[in-house]
Amino acid sequence: MPAPDPQPASIPLPASTARIGGLVLAAGAGSRYGMPKALVHDAAGRSWLQNAVDVLVAAGCSPVIVVLGASGAHAAALLNAGDNDPASTNGASAPSPGASSARQHSAARPTASVLVVHATDWAEGLSASLRAGLRCALEQPDLVAVAVIPVDVPDLNTATVARLIGLSDAGTLRQARFSGRPGHPVVIGRAHWVPLLDTLAGDTGARPYLREHDVEAVECGDLGTGADVDRPD
């Protein structure tokens, strides 16, 4: 007699059905750059912030959580305007402290929810931004992982993000490498969020946690430089 079919409850969901979110860290004052990097535009007039969101969305991340802090009202206005008028900030306001707001991309972009959160303690450093973003992620019950990027990696492209988020699950801990150099995205599975939150302090972000855990390195040097930009050219 043939063995009975397994019960549906015993069949794991394919990795392709898992929801992977994006997390853009854009709260800093950009002291070395001379202005908050969330407000920086490239030579074509496109904001780094909008580019970061669009790259994550195009790779399949949803929702995309954007953490703002310094000049949060101006940065939120850039997102609300969708870069149609980079100089215009009229009519937009920063999200209230500790709260989040959601919007949908226009029809010209792949549809995804964008959640904006304000890190009231952004001056503490990178850890404050990551903490605010992970707390927002924890409020999304169907997310299994997030792809984390800072706003200052304008070279980042969709192919790099797609390579990193493939086959991710709640236990994933994965980091891009560019010719062996650690970079972004960093994909952090849900099982790591609370333990990571317990370690966050100062301007070190996730680096101490990543050093102490088995991180899967994924080489992406064939897709870009992964360079972050600390100062204007």
Whether 12 maps to a domain, the answer reads no
Whether 224 maps to a domain, the answer reads no
Whether 145 maps to a domain, the answer reads yes
Report pLDDT for 233.
Answer: 67
Q: What is the CATH number of the domain that holds 128?
A: 3.90.550.10
Q: Domains in the chain: how many in total? A: 1
Q: Which residue has the tokens 């009231």?
A: 120
Whether 2 maps to a domain, the answer reads no
Report pLDDT for 112.
Answer: 66
Residue 215, C-beta contacts closer than 8 angstroms, at least 6 positions apart:
173, 174, 175
112 contacts 4 by C-beta, under 8 angstroms: no
- Of 75, 199, 67, the closest CA to residue 122 belongs to 67
As a 3-state breakdown, the chain gives helix, strand, coil percent values, each rounded to 5, of 30, 25, 50
- List average pLDDT for each run of 10 residues in the chain, which is 233 residues long: 37 54 92 84 90 96 96 87 43 37 42 87 93 97 97 95 96 98 98 98 93 97 90 68
Whether 140 maps to a domain, the answer reads yes
Give me Rg for the CA atoms of the chain: 18
Whether 233 maps to a domain, the answer reads no
173 contacts 96 by C-beta, under 8 angstroms: no
Report pLDDT for 71.
Answer: 85
Whether 228 maps to a domain, the answer reads no
Whether 8 maps to a domain, the answer reads no
Strand, coil or helix: 144: strand
Report pLDDT for 89.
Answer: 31
Max Cα distance, the chain (Å)? 74
Q: How far is CA 10 from CA 53, 141, 142, 152, 190, in A?
A: 36, 21, 19, 43, 21
Alpha carbon distance 102, 113 (integer Å): 6
DSSP-derived letter for residue 58 is H
Question: Which residue range is the domain that position 112 belongs to?
Answer: 18-219
